[in-house]
């Protein structure tokens, strides 16, 4: 296993990607394989690498090997070459090492963000997506439906291609799967992102894929992983460019997004807290649980009652995070705490963001600059906006997620 993690015996295989309209092959997904390991599955190699801190190195080895093998084939210049990558690996914008640079010149290179631990390190995930996009690569979100994080992050990542997990294609959807599919179709309607169905192995699966809105497909029905056959590649696919989240600097705060763009209201703290509870209640009753991100200035504002509400939310939500000065990382009840530096502009704000497949709401407030420092807590005033603009809510969520290591 150690040798496999170092790339020994690695042999990339390529599975066709087709258009479901006419079954023409538009490209291939590169899959890591170790034939010499026999019954040991590729996912076991990756699990071993992650357990020993070698995931990023193995990820790069697999990408390099796939590119080199693809470049050695006579694949046409407009073919899609889809490469898998871990969500927390690093790709630096503007830096395209030799093989990747050559692949970019020849193919439509698409990076598939795998579903493993999407929200484990949000800042690295967002940095990776931004860097890949800056370098002109397509982005796919893989195995959507396997984990709730993938649906919650659709707006934040805004992929060019949404890849449906094979469980959604190979069976009639139950309630939770119908929730996922509804989220995917809603995002497709908003952005035009392409839907790709995995695991198509027979005519019934193909029928289901078409019913789910897929325009692209993969599976044994079209071809098993093997060599990239240039003779089979005859189609061309041009992705529609989905609308991207607003560009933000890493230090941007949610209030900075609304300053000068929205009519600000002013209210005392009690009113702001009431609006916070209202947005939290909307998240609690949502059929598709959204992620909930709250900036409360200082850790002392996470009172026992507030903590109780957030613990209830964390039972169903894919992510509940609280940002404040002196906030411990472990808050309890699946809540993630994020400590803010005293110089962070977020320390003067009171923000609650809920973002999910069918939920987009935010209270964005900042302590009024004219409030005297010795003002009693009940007398404190805030400038604020409540918004249901999905683009603005997504940008606010992006700002907060960028603060999560």
**So what's the pLDDT on residue 273?**
93
Residue 260 CB coordination number (10 Å): 7
Residue range 41-53: average pLDDT?
A: 88
Nearest to 344 by CA among 365, 323, 362, 364: 323
Q: Which of 31-40, 97-106, 171-180, 330-339 has the lowest mean pLDDT?
A: 171-180
Where do the structural domains in the chain lie, given as residue ranges?
2-232, 254-401
State the pTM of this model.
0.89
Top-tier CATH class for 254-401: alpha beta
**So what's the pLDDT on residue 97?**
64
Domain 2-232 has CATH 3.20.20.450: yes
CA distance 154 to 138: 15
Residue range 61-66: average pLDDT?
A: 93
CA distance 200 to 198: 6
**Are 2-232 and 254-401 the same fold in CATH?**
no
Averaged pLDDT score across all residues of the chain: 89
Given strand 320-325, what is the order of strands in its sheet?
Answer: 265-268, 381-387, 360-367, 349-355, 291-298, 320-325, 335-339, 330-332
Residue range 182-191: average pLDDT?
A: 90
Residue range 147-166: average pLDDT?
A: 87
Per-residue pLDDT for 247 more than 60?
no
Q: Which residue has the higher pLDDT, 355 or 56?
A: 355
How would residue 219 be classed by pLDDT, with cut points 50, 70 and 90?
Answer: very high
Q: Which residue has the higher pLDDT, 254 or 146?
A: 254
109-131 tens-digit pLDDT: 999 998 667 788 888 889 889 89
How would residue 322 be classed by pLDDT, with cut points 50, 70 and 90?
Answer: very high
């Amino acid at each position: 296993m150690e040798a496999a993690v170092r790339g020994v015996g690695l042999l990339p295989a390529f599975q066709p990607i087709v258009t479901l309209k006419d079954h023409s092959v538009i490209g291939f997904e590169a899959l890591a394989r170790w034939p010499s390991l026999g019954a040991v599955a590729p996912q076991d190699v990756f699990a071993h690498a992650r357990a020993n801190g070698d995931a990023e190195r193995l990820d790069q080895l697999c990408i390099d090997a796939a590119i080199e093998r693809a470049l050695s084939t006579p694949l046409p210049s407009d073919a899609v070459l889809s490469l898998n990558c871990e969500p927390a690996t690093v790709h630096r914008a503007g830096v395209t090492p030799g093989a990747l640079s050559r692949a970019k010149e020849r193919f439509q290179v698409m990076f598939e963000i795998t579903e493993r631990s999407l929200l484990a390190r949000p800042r690295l995930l967002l940095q990776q997506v931004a860097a890949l996009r800056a370098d002109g690569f397509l982005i796919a979100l893989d195995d959507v439906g396997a984990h709730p994080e993938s649906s919650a992050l659709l707006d934040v990542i805004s992929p060019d291609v949404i890849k449906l997990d094979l469980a959604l294609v190979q069976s009639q959807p139950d309630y939770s799967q119908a929730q996922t599919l509804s989220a995917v179709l809603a995002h497709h309607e908003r952005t035009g992102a392409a839907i790709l169905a995995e695991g198509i192995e027979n005519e019934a699966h193909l029928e289901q894929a078409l019913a789910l809105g897929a325009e692209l497909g993969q599976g044994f029905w079209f071809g098993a992983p093997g060599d990239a056959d240039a003779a089979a590649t005859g189609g061309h696919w041009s992705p529609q460019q989905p609308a991207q989240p607003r560009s933000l600097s890493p230090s941007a705060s949610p209030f900075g997004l609304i300053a000068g763009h929205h009519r600000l209201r002013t209210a005392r703290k009690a009113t702001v807290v009431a609006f916070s509870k209202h947005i939290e209640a909307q998240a609690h009753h949502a059929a598709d649980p959204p992620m909930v991100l709250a900036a409360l200035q200082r850790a002392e504002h996470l009172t026992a009652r507030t903590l109780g509400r957030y613990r209830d939310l964390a039972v169903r939500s894919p992510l509940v995070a609280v940002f404040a000065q002196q906030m411990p990382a472990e808050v309890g009840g699946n809540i993630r705490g994020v400590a803010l530096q005293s110089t962070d502009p977020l320390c003067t704000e009171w923000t609650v963001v809920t973002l999910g497949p069918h939920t987009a709401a935010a209270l964005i407030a900042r302590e009024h600059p004219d409030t005297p420092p010795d003002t009693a807590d009940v007398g404190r005033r805030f400038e604020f906006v409540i918004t249901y603009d999905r683009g603005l809510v997504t940008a606010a969520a992006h700002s907060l997620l960028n603060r999560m290591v």
